[in-house]
Amino acid sequence: MSKRNLKQIAIIIGTRPEIIKTAPVIKKCIKFRVPFFIIHTGQHYSENMDRIFFDQLNLPKPEIRINVGSGSHGEQTGRCLERLEKILLEKKPEKILVQGDTNTVIAGALAASKLSIKIGHIEAGLRSYDRSMPEEINRVIADHLSHYLFAPTCVSKENLKKEGIVKNVFVTGNTIVEALKENSSIAEEKIGDKILRKLEIENNRYFLLTLHRQENVDNRDRLKEIFLGINKIIEKFKLPVIFPAHPRTVKNICKFNLINLLKKIKTIEPVGYFEFLVLEKNAFVILTDSGGLQEEACILKVPCITLRENTERPETLYAGSNILAGWRSKDILNSVVKMANTKRRWRQPFGDGKTSEKILKIITGA
């Protein structure tokens, strides 16, 4: 790959999924000697939401950390924007790369655009068409500010077209395919069924649950209703539910006094990527409101129930790997009954696993 006198690319990341999904691009930068440096905003900072992924994925330490931490949307985005602007002014990268739809992404895109630095957006064009989601606002703005739009599928390309964005849109697939390819066998080797034994669960005989979406976990009635649904599943299927709980959710379970509803749910701390891949691969059904899990479940051929009323990953619905259950307990139970016996024959729509190379070729002009 030619570098064509490219000055540096700043790769801006801040949260767990951004680290995981940007890792293949960082690895390719190293392999093809593309000049880059990593800026970590510190949106996620707990050991098990951040450092563990750098260690497991063998990523270089970020050159710069701006430690924005937690806060309201305005506080977090504002701190990111102010500190990123300073760094970009000082380091003068030629381009930046951001991935996904977090506050880190919107701040990175805003900071760069005001300094006339070109922006590449990985995972461009995803739309839930639900503006009550903070992530939807971040996606729309980041896409409209970007100069290179790396759309994972034709669906995302079409979404951009509907908003008048047609220039420099590239359908590249999703880097999650590579993340899974590269790490599944390592996970198998390093973790094997150790985690299943530790949790006293058997292959294909447990549900895996994750929850962290603001609209679900910051709303007491909704969170309660979801846990009531999970308890109904435990009662009907007589199978355990493993729940690596996101810190936001843990905080709200305590705040809303819902701990009693978790008595029968095996709640654990968030785990590393290797451990989580083993848990995903061997699950009977995955229940989640995560974006990345809808994709990973589809690729790993594990049925997925999404605890939301919409998704920016409709490709998984079309494939038949995922259904939208919403958040009401009876709908959650009915969806599990529906998906429990589904044939795992779908094809994953997220590309051939060469996404990061395609992205780098485009952004370096190779």
Q: Does 14 bind ligand UDP (CB under 6 A)?
A: no
212 given a catalytic annotation: yes
* Contact partners, residue 40, CB within 8 Å, separation at least 6: 13, 14, 50, 62, 64, 65, 66
Helices (H) and strands (E) in the chain, counts: 16, 13
Residues 242-261 contacting ligand UDP, CB under 6 A: 244
The residue (of 17 and 303) whose beta carbon lies closer to ligand UDP is 17
CB of 212 to ligand UDP, least distance (A): 6
- Measured in degrees and rounded to the nearest 5, phi and psi for residue 107 equal -65, -45
* Contact partners, residue 54, CB within 8 Å, separation at least 6: 19, 61
- The enclosing H or E element of 118 equals strand 118-122
56 binds, among ligand UD1, ligand UDP, none (CB under 5 to 8 A by kind): none
**Of 124, 134, 304, nearest in space to 208 by CA:** 304
Residue of the chain from 13, 20, 97, 155 that contacts ligand UDP (CB under 6 A) = 20
User: Residue 68 burial (CB < 10 Å; 0-12/13-18/19+)?
Assistant: buried
**Of 109, 85, 84, nearest in space to 98 by CA:** 109
Segment contacting ligand UDP by CB under 6 A, of 86-94, 124-132, 227-235, 267-275: 267-275
Q: Which CA distances in Å does 68 have to 20, 43, 50, 107, 147?
A: 20, 6, 13, 11, 26
Choose the catalytic residue: 40, 44, 121, 212.
212
Residue of the chain from 13, 16, 76, 111 that contacts ligand UDP (CB under 6 A) = 16
Q: Which amino acid is at 314?
A: P
- Measured in degrees and rounded to the nearest 5, phi and psi for residue 94 equal -80, -35
d(CA 160, CA 143): 8
Which residues would be at the binding site for ligand UD1 (CB under 6 A)?
Answer: 15-17, 43-46, 49-50, 70, 76, 101-103, 134-135, 212, 247-248, 251
CB of 115 to ligand UDP, least distance (A): 27
Q: Does 210 bind ligand UDP (CB under 6 A)?
A: yes
The residue (of 70 and 342) whose beta carbon lies closer to ligand UD1 is 70
Q: Does 150 bind ligand UDP (CB under 6 A)?
A: no
Residue of the chain from 234, 271, 317, 340 that contacts ligand UDP (CB under 6 A) = 271
- The enclosing H or E element of 9 equals strand 9-13
271 binds, among ligand UD1, ligand UDP, none (CB under 5 to 8 A by kind): ligand UDP
CB of 214 to ligand UD1, least distance (A): 6
Can you state the angle between helices 355-364 and 16-31, rounded to 10 degrees? 70
**Structural tokens at position 170:** 């590239």
Residues 281-300 contacting ligand UDP, CB under 6 A: 290-293, 296
Q: Does 121 bind ligand UDP (CB under 6 A)?
A: no
93 binds, among ligand UD1, ligand UDP, none (CB under 5 to 8 A by kind): none
The residue (of 84 and 208) whose beta carbon lies closer to ligand UDP is 208
293 binds, among ligand UD1, ligand UDP, none (CB under 5 to 8 A by kind): ligand UDP
Residue of the chain from 9, 10, 13, 17 that contacts ligand UDP (CB under 6 A) = 17
Task: List residues with catalytic annotation.
Answer: 212
